[in-house]
Structure 1
Amino acid sequence: MLLFKTDLHKYKAYSGNKSTLVLMLTTQGLWALFVYRYSNKIYRSALPSFFKKPLLRLAVLWQKWIEIVAGISIPYSVSIGHSFYIGHFGNIIINSKAIIGDNCNISQGVTIGISGKEEKRGVPILGNNVYIGANAVLAGRIVVGDNVVIGANSLVNKNVESNVTVLGVPAKKISDNSSSGYI
Structure 2
Amino acid sequence: MKDYFKYDYYRMTEEKYKKSIKSTCKLFFNHQIKFMYLWRKNSYKNSFITKLRIHRLTKKYGLEISTAASIGKGLYLGHPYNITVASGVVIGDNVNLHKGCTIGRENRGKREGVPKIGSMVSVGINSTVVGNITIGDDVMIAPNSFINIDIPSHSVVIGNPAQIHKKENATKSYVNFLV
Alpha-carbon spacing, 1:29–1:162, altered in 2? closer, same or farther (3 Å): same
Structure 1 equivalent of residue 45 of structure 2? 42
User: Conserved in 2, the CA contact under 8 Å of 1:63 and 1:75?
Assistant: no
The reply to whether residue 72 of structure 1 matches residue 63 of structure 2 is yes
SS in structure 1 of the partner of residue 14 of structure 2: helix
Q: TM-score, normalised by structure 1?
A: 0.85
Structure 1 equivalent of residue 11 of structure 2? 10
Distance (whole Å) between structure 2 residues aligned to residue 23 and residue 58 of structure 1: 21
Which ranges of 4 or more aligned residues in structure 1 deviate by more than 2 Å? 57-62
User: Which 5+ residue runs of structure 2 have no aligned equivalent?
Assistant: 16-21
Q: CA deviation at 1:160?
A: 0.3
Please tell me the residue identity of whatever aligns with 1:174.
H
SS in structure 1 of the partner of residue 149 of structure 2: coil
SS in structure 2 of the partner of residue 69 of structure 1: helix
User: Conserved in 1, the CA contact under 8 Å of 2:131 and 2:148?
Assistant: yes
User: Conserved in 2, the CA contact under 8 Å of 1:6 and 1:82?
Assistant: yes
Distance (whole Å) between structure 1 residues aligned to residue 161 and residue 45 of structure 2: 37
Please tell me the residue identity of whatever aligns with 1:182.
Y
* Cα-Cα RMSD: 1.6
Structure 2 equivalent of residue 180 of structure 1? 172
User: Which 5+ residue runs of structure 1 have no aligned equivalent?
Assistant: 44-54
Distance (whole Å) between structure 1 residues aligned to residue 49 and residue 31 of structure 2: 20
The reply to whether residue 148 of structure 1 matches residue 139 of structure 2 is yes
User: Conserved in 2, the CA contact under 8 Å of 1:107 and 1:134?
Assistant: yes
Larger relative contact order (C-alpha < 8 A, sep ≥ 6)? 2
Structure 2 equivalent of residue 104 of structure 1? 95
Please tell me the residue identity of whatever aligns with 1:80.
I
Please tell me the residue identity of whatever aligns with 2:14.
A
Distance (whole Å) between structure 2 residues aligned to residue 86 and residue 62 of structure 1: 18
The reply to whether residue 94 of structure 1 matches residue 85 of structure 2 is yes
Name the count of aligned residue pairs.
Answer: 167
Distance (whole Å) between structure 1 residues aligned to residue 27 and residue 37 of structure 2: 9
The reply to whether residue 30 of structure 1 matches residue 33 of structure 2 is yes
Q: CA deviation at 1:58?
A: 3.6
Higher helix share: 1
